[in-house]
Structure 1
Amino acid sequence: METTLLRFATAGSVDDGKSTLVGRLLYDTKTVLADQLEAIEAASRRQGHEGAALALLTDGLRAEREQGITIDVAYRYFATPRRRFILADTPGHVQYTRNMVTGASGAELVLLLVDVRKGISAQTRRHAAVAALLRVPHVVLAVNKMDLAGFSEDAFAGIAEEFTALATRLGIHEVTAIPVSALTGDNVATPSPNMDWYGGPTVLELLETVPAGADPARAALRLPVQYVIRAGGRRAYAGQIAGGVLRAGERVTVLPSGRSATVSGIDVLGTSAPVAWAPQSVAVALDADLDVSRGDLIVAANAAPELTCELDVTVCHLHDRALALGERVLVKHGTRTVQAVVEDISPCAWLDDLTCDPAADVLAVNEIGEVLLRTAAPLAVDPYAESRTTGACLLIDPDDGSTRAAGVVRG
């Protein structure tokens, strides 16, 4: 049976039990390697409970094990008979919020943990703001450590109501709240006998049934050119389709030149095909000898984005050195990189609704803000609300090549 793939990320404040929940998912879905299982069972015997050692499954770095916190994004693959999963386990410490941005950028779902005893924290708000910024389609709130609150329905309901109101202000339209105990396994992979007042899905059931993947036919064609291939006296343009469907015989436009041609051939994995779609990698031949190179964008002739040298983006600053007004950066958009200057900065001072402060003129590490960029050459961008690929960009330091910020184009 063919199964679908779901990419999801986990997030939560330090000590909210995120690593234990991830470990519980891996353990209960029988996707733990034999040597890992033996190590967990040995640690469980020493600590008196199997749940106490589940975090060992995800804390891969030595520093993580020593400090008891997640530092880097840990990617895990597991599967059930119903679906395959790629999990990005992201750090909860405020110092590593930028790593959460990395892990959630390609996710279709964010699983956000909250300790029922602590409730909604500043870091919970920050993680929710990042999920809203990145337009993650599904947000799941796992209210953890219910066993330490006597499995109280009132405690769960209060947190779920507060988070739903926060999500609404941030523009998150789909939130599912689940009461869990990662330590004991309640409502993680199996329904809890201790919370008969809850009639919703378990975490695993929701992960297996939530809609995954966007319909490429509903998006406009976008193909960033990665390579130009010359063979047999003809040229083809290779890249990964970022959105939409590409068909032989279709009229396309190459940006930024604006010249048009007809698709004369499509090659997918070395085989000629009449049609291809996102996110397939293809080589495309055109019926006209156009000047096409790396960084160009092939789009549907009847649905081309406008070229602009002015980018209004919301960014999360990732670098230790603050981003300053008037600073010169490189903007990487798809396969194209251009020079730009920062013309305006407005940090988001209030994460409850992403309201920004126009008086500030710098953006510090882990801060979210609105930035206006003036580029030296035009870019063909889409609003991020329409395309998470062609609506995203990176700001890069022109001197050392380090990534300064990750941005999304405002609609």
Structure 2
Amino acid sequence: MFINLMTGKEKIEAAFSQNGSPEMAVVIPYEGIYYRDHIDELTDCPWWYFYDTNLDNQFLWYREAALNTPQDWFNMPFSYTREERKNIEIKEEKGKVLRINRKTGKIEEIAKPIKGGWNPAGGSHSIHIPNPPLTINELNAKIGNPSHNKKIPLGGEELIKLIMQDFGKNRIPLHHIGSPLWLCYGIWGFELMMMLIADNPKLVEHACKLFFEHQKFNVHILAEAGAKLIWIEECMTDMISPQMFEQFNIPYVSALVDEIRKEGMKSIYYYCGNPEGKLDLILSAGADALSFEESKKTFKINIIEMAEKINGRAVLFGNLDAVNVLERGNEETLAIAVQEQKNAYKTTKKRFIMSLGSPVTALTSVSRVKEYFRLSRTTT
């Protein structure tokens, strides 16, 4: 039996209220990864419509993919600007997909995405930055300040508008941003970032302040584009001490949460890794909702225990195991895991949104994902 008296948007809005939602919302995190890895399976469109400058084609791809992914939110995809759509054509020619810039004459081939997002050239996927910024002045030059005169480029929001007028009417729009400390990985790489956290905290704090200003600006742009939820991604901080986490994360994430709230949006803090010893600090950031990974590596996150610990202080997202259950488990394993998540929905007094702990894997079939949605929406 299915209950479907509310739209997906209404379910998520209700989950963020103090009374919770009478119907449980169901989502998958990082739909863009799912779309990339199943680009041929989700629609009957040519795969390259996903990148097309023809707005009708691009919208058609997103619409078919979304209708085959019956979740309650959608990630807002910014489109090409009007100027880009005027000058750039994507077309298939002799078995190749080409991006043709009529203004410059440049022609380049677009490669089909590789499942899993692997580097087509092979090699390391870790970031190793040549000449990384190691002084305040170098950081200022590298990161800089956001241009507060900058707006969404003309036409850049038109795909979002088409979605909101169609299937997006009944789904809530969200967008992702990284925490200021997590963005430091992009300028330093893992090893240097960790060394600087320990040995040069003032430099790290300055980088976080600069990245915060950029993310603050991005929050305003996303609000202007129509976002209602902002997903704040946090990675690698289970490898630093609670004291370091409090110093380098909490002030900036808390400030981001405040900016999101000022714009009338809700925040979701996604903490990757083991939250052991940091849960109270994570809660102190003040995010409207929390999301955690599934149990993996050497740590366990029991969703019922997490619901009891949070005790209504934030909306909780589910953490169904995307690998061992969704990808590799049998039908019974999936049904049992879904029921465990539903029990957390009851424990949180319906301030709960069914989700996965990690993105859908490349080896997970579309039919399996649909079964996850079916079981999640079936009453027990």
TM-score between the two structures when normalised by the length of structure 2 = 0.30
Which has a greater percent of strand?
1
Which has a greater percent of helix?
2
TM-score between the two structures when normalised by the length of structure 1 = 0.28
- Greater relative contact order structure (CA < 8 Å, 6+ sep): 2
